[in-house]
Every structure is written in structure tokens, then in C-alpha cells.
Structure 1
Amino acid sequence: MQSTTNPDLLTVGLAQIAPVWLNRDATLAKIVDYIGRAAEQRCRFVVFGEALLPGYPFWIELTDGARFNSQVQKEIHAHYVEQAVQIEAGDLDAVCAAAARHGVAVMLGCIERPRDRGGYSIYCSRVYIGADGAIGSVHRKLMPTYEERLTWAQGDGHGLRVHRLGAFTVGGLNCYENWMPLSRAALYAQGEDLHVALWPGNLRNTEDITRFIAKEGRGYTISVSALMRREDFPADTPHLDLILAQCPEVLANGGSCIAAPDGTWLIAPAVGDECLLVATLDRAAVRRERQNLDQAGHYARPDVTRLVVDRRRQGVATFEE
């Protein structure tokens, strides 16, 4: 539990859940419910997986997604865009209100359809919402992975930011961004000691890198994944018969976990079930492990190597009146 006498302690919740696939409103209701459940367990921070709202584009590898000018691909993609999140239109207001109501910070993976890029292209975004309900940052995935490039656009460095959360400094990346050493370095340079890796699912993604990042950064690392099974596709999904024809029983089996700053498991990967995993982190463990390795401090050599990060939000035009 969150301690009232020890400021080093932070209780966190990992919401390993399936979306109501490609249904923004129904998935939002589920997210708000799990924020409440986390608050009941006295969590001060709750995390959800990559692209959870409204879901990961599993149809691409199941329906010949690379076929150019396919009417099927256009129709599914159009539905995806329509159900994506437009933050400027208030699509995350219910999540922000729940965060403020319960005093819980939230990190959420969503598919964003931003107005500042025209309102039609979509981005795999990581949104941080503070315990006051205010959106602190929106990070758009820098490089969609493999078939994701058929539906998601490339993001920018604007959201490579960290946030104070109690005694901790929290940052996060989406999926395979966690394998990008310079992106990790950008967060370490800002004092990150609680790293959040968002995943669409699967133990194979989380079982190695979670412990590796914890040992590299000498901080806590949370990996949170979603679930996705055949039964999680709603009956009104466009071209559902085509999607299910090649669909395995399980597309994403979870694998959510937490590694301590020495790389040992605080919570070993959980597989197969929807659940809320809860643990209390102690920042004293970070101080102990930084004794012999501190990426942004005594083990850095900025006189030899330095990283330059462009955090300007990308746009296609600059208007001068």
C-alpha cells in the first residue's frame, strides 16, 4: 500500500485487459472501471497496454493487409480511423475525470487521430495523465514496427518527456521503441527511474527486455500488455469472417510484469488472464543500484558523447501572418 510515512513508496497497478476491439466508447468504459479498481487497491499509478484504445491492428496479418488499393483494407482501416482517439475533441475526458476523481495517475496506449496532422492519419500514442486529471504528455510512436506501418504514421520526439510521480520520475515508450537505445537514453537523461514499456501483448515481448532495461537504467521497469483472443472480436467487426478465418485462438497472451532496479522480478510475467497486478515500489532500491551505474550521472561522459533530441511537434506547414 502507498505509505503515508515513507515518501519513497509508490503503489502501482498494471491493468492487463482486452479491449472491446475497435469500439472506442466501450473500451473507454472498461478503462475507467479499471482505474476505479486500482484506486480501491490504493494505487497511485495505473498503466494500460499499447494501442488498447480502441485496439491493435491484428487484421493486417490475417487479411492480406499489404494488398494495395484493396477495398477490404480500406473499409477496415476507415472503421479504425473512425474509432480512434481525437484528444482535442474530448475523447479522453472520461479517463481524465476518473484520474482526477480517484487521485490516480494514468499511462494509456491509444490510437490517436490528431487534428494537428489533418485528422485522418493515425498514430500509436502513449498518453500520460496526472493525478489531477491533466494530460501531461502525448508521445507518438517514432517508428511503427513491421506491418504496423501499413496503418500507423510515424511520430516525433515531442512526447519524449518524463513526469514527477511522488518520489519517482516516470517515462515510457511504445513496444519496439523500447529496443531503441537513443530513445531510452533521452529518458534516462531526464532522470527517469521508473520506466514503463507498453505492449500490445505476448510474453515473448516482455520476458527479456523488461529485466534488461531495469538493469541498464538501474530503475524499476513496468511492462504492461493487453490481451486479445478470438472471442474478443465483437460481432459487428467489419469483415469479421475474413479476420477469423486465419485467426488463432490467442493473438496476445499478456506478459505484464515488473522488474526491480537490480533486474530481478518484482512481479513475474502474468500470462493468459485479465487481471490487475499491484505492487509497491521503493525508491531506496534505485539509490542502492545507482551506486555503481548511473546512466545520466557518474557513468556518463558528455564530453565524449552527447545526444541531441528534437522535441518540436512535427507539422507540414508553418504559417506566418
Structure 2
Amino acid sequence: MGDKVRVAAVQAEPVWLDIDGTTNKTIDLIAEAASGGAGLVAFPETWIPGYPVFLWSYPVYEQMEFVARYHANSPTLDGDHLRRIREAARRHSITVVLGFSEKDAGSLYISQAVIGPDGEILLHRRKLKPTHAERTLFGESDGSGIKVIDTPLGRIGALNCFEHIQPLTKYAMYAQNEQIHVAGWPCLGILGNVPALSPETLMACTQTYALEGSAFVVAATQIMSDDGARKFPTADGGPTPVYTGGGGYARVYGPHSGLITEPLDPTTEGIVYADIDLAEIDLAKNTVDPAGHYARADVTRLVFDDRPQKPVIRPSELDPQEFQDLGMDADQENDTSHR
């Protein structure tokens, strides 16, 4: 594993509610990042087909048209749109961290996929708990998605949006010795005047993650143009009422918490690059390592269940302890299965 790598963070506007258009744009941005020398390129939360701004804009009964279009334009993990993006990653030999609305049968999930330079999916995760109004559209996940993986670039992990203010979720990530973290954010130009949702607050969360985790944090964000705001129109055709303009804050923070990229204008599309040296992490952790030498396990500890949880399980999938919890044993299951 090399210690140095160039990372790239996307700041761009999706083709709102258009799976084909945004997939094409994704492939173009992958090529651009690769031509810029990046070994990893990060995309925002729900980049495909764009963040569902309508959830925050209108009463539920006025959202139905948008909900139908959003379902129709959300990709599946094994579908053609992800296949094309995986092929682009392989063609350009670059690691891609993609945020997308994942359609799984009749449900949607706020998902991220880490796609390796060979086009293989190295990590597929779903947002542990959608935030506030998002819960009317998206399902929840489980602890199996709170994961850091080994790659030739380093140990990579990813979270979406307000997962970055969940102390225990963050701690579970820190404890896995994460080195490169991708922070997927939506457009920060909606509800930007609300203090808790302001760009300043959300970037402070991102910077704090770098400080606490002693990790390089690659933050990718969507932007929204005036035309984009009219993709979610009011009754008279005006822009969505929650639009506050721009919203692009792509950047990279170092493990010492310092900003190591020059910010783009919040209304401008582009890619920011940073050349990072993983050796800097050792110096950062020498000062504070909250899940390492700076921890006090005798006082506070995290119980972290990272097992996948399914709504339907069959007896053949249970382990012996789970059989006992159900008042059965494996022999009973075997006897039953032969009757």
C-alpha cells in the first residue's frame, strides 16, 4: 500500500430526477477526476437522481408526483446504471465512492458504494437512519454498513449527511482505524438559513470528524442552480421555497483538522483535489486517538452490533444461540425439515 494518494471531491449539480442524465454526468466526472490524477473520487449523498428536495418543500399530499418520479429514477445495485459506472471506474482505474438512492423492490435507501479500480463493489452501505423528513421516503439500515475496508489506497469508510453528528456511529468508525473518510452531503443551498442546517454548521461537523478520527475527510456536495430549484416548483412555477442558493462546499480536511483544499465558489461546478500522505495520521493520533490510547474503556465503552439484520430469516440461517433464544435447538429444526 502506498502512503500517498490524490483524492478528488465532486461539487456539481445532478440532473434532477433523471437517472440517465445523472449517470452520464457521473461517468464524465469520473473521467475528469482520473485525468486530474486522482486515485479516488467522491460523489455526494443521493447524487443519483439528486437529493429529494421536495421532502422539505411541500406537505406530503403534494409530494406524490415527485415520489413516483423519484422511485422511477432510483438505480438498483445490480442494474444497468451502476454497471455502467463500475465499467467507468475500471476503464479509468480509479476508486469511486458513489452516493445514490437505491431502489430495492418497493423500498428506497440512502446508499453509498465504494467501487474499486477494477470495477468491483468493495463496500455497499445504507444510511443507518434517514434524517427527519427523509424517513417518509427511505428505509433504515443496520450496523453492517458501519464499516471501514482495506484497499490499496488505505482504509476507506463513508457516511452520509447527518450520520456525521451521531457520536456513537462516528466512534464505531474511528475504532476501525479509518484513514480516508468520504463525507457525502446533499446540496447545502436548501434551508441554509436554518442554523442547524447551515453550510457553516455542516462543514464544522465534517471538520470535527477529521479531528476526532485523525482521518483525511473528503467532503462531496451537490449544488442547486436557479433552474434546478424550479425542478421542484411551487404552484405558480416558482423555485422550491426552501432554496437558499448555491450549496457547493466540496473540500478535503487533513487528520490535523486543517482545510487542505481551496474552496470553489458555492455556485460553481467542479472537482477539488488534494494530495494526501497517510503518514500524517500517525502524528495526528500521537496527540489524540479517542478510540486508541486516549480512550478510557474502564469508564465508557461502545457496544457495536455490526451483524446484518433481515426482516425474514429461515431456521437454516440461524446459529445455535439464536435457536436457543427461540426455545428450539438445531436437532429440532433438522427433524422438522424432514417431515
CA distance in 2, matches of 1:243, 1:35: 34
CA distance in 1, matches of 2:185, 2:158: 11
Encode CA deviations 1:101-156: one digit per residue, 9 max, x unaligned: 11100111100112xxxx11111111111111111122211121122122122222
The aligned residue for residue 215 of structure 2 is: 219
SS at 2:118 equivalent: coil
Match of 1:263 among 243, 257, 262: 257
Letter in 2 for 1:155: S
The question of whether the paired residues in 1 share the 8 Å contact of 2:53 and 2:232 is answered with no
The structure-2 alpha-carbon separation of the partners of 1:309 and 1:251, relative to structure 1 and needing over 3 Å to count, comes to farther
The structure-2 alpha-carbon separation of the partners of 1:292 and 1:243, relative to structure 1 and needing over 3 Å to count, comes to farther
The aligned residue for residue 181 of structure 1 is: 167
Match of 1:127 among 92, 113, 138: 113
The question of whether the paired residues in 1 share the 8 Å contact of 2:113 and 2:124 is answered with yes
**Distance apart, 1:242 and its partner CA:** 6.0
The aligned residue for residue 231 of structure 1 is: 227
Quick one: percent identity of the two aligned structures?
Answer: 32
SS at 1:12 equivalent: strand
Letter in 1 for 2:43: F
SS at 1:170 equivalent: strand
The aligned residue for residue 198 of structure 1 is: 184
The aligned residue for residue 136 of structure 1 is: 122
The question of whether the paired residues in 2 share the 8 Å contact of 1:85 and 1:110 is answered with yes
- Is 1:254 the equivalent of 2:254? no
The structure-2 alpha-carbon separation of the partners of 1:101 and 1:246, relative to structure 1 and needing over 3 Å to count, comes to closer
The aligned residue for residue 100 of structure 1 is: 90
**Distance apart, 1:307 and its partner CA:** 2.4
Match of 1:81 among 59, 71, 93: 71
Encode CA deviations 1:59-112: one digit per residue, 9 max, x unaligned: 1222223xxxx2x42222111111111113343001111111111001111001
Which has more radius of gyration? 2
State which drifts further: 101-110 or 138-147: 138-147
**Distance apart, 1:168 and its partner CA:** 2.2
Letter in 1 for 2:281: V
The structure-2 alpha-carbon separation of the partners of 1:26 and 1:241, relative to structure 1 and needing over 3 Å to count, comes to farther
SS at 1:158 equivalent: helix
CA distance in 1, matches of 2:201, 2:296: 31
Q: How many residues align?
A: 305
Q: Normalization by structure 1: what TM-score?
A: 0.87
CA distance in 2, matches of 1:155, 1:177: 12
The structure-2 alpha-carbon separation of the partners of 1:243 and 1:52, relative to structure 1 and needing over 3 Å to count, comes to farther
CA distance in 2, matches of 1:106, 1:243: 36
**Distance apart, 1:204 and its partner CA:** 3.0
The aligned residue for residue 155 of structure 1 is: 141
Letter in 2 for 1:15: V
**Distance apart, 1:297 and its partner CA:** 2.4
The question of whether the paired residues in 2 share the 8 Å contact of 1:10 and 1:281 is answered with yes
Letter in 2 for 1:281: I
The question of whether the paired residues in 2 share the 8 Å contact of 1:56 and 1:200 is answered with yes
The question of whether the paired residues in 1 share the 8 Å contact of 2:4 and 2:278 is answered with yes
**Distance apart, 1:251 and its partner CA:** 4.8
The question of whether the paired residues in 2 share the 8 Å contact of 1:122 and 1:151 is answered with yes
SS at 1:113 equivalent: strand
- Where do residues 298-313 of structure 1 align in structure 2 (5 Å cutoff)? 298-313=293-308
**Distance apart, 1:173 and its partner CA:** 0.6
CA distance in 1, matches of 2:271, 2:277: 20
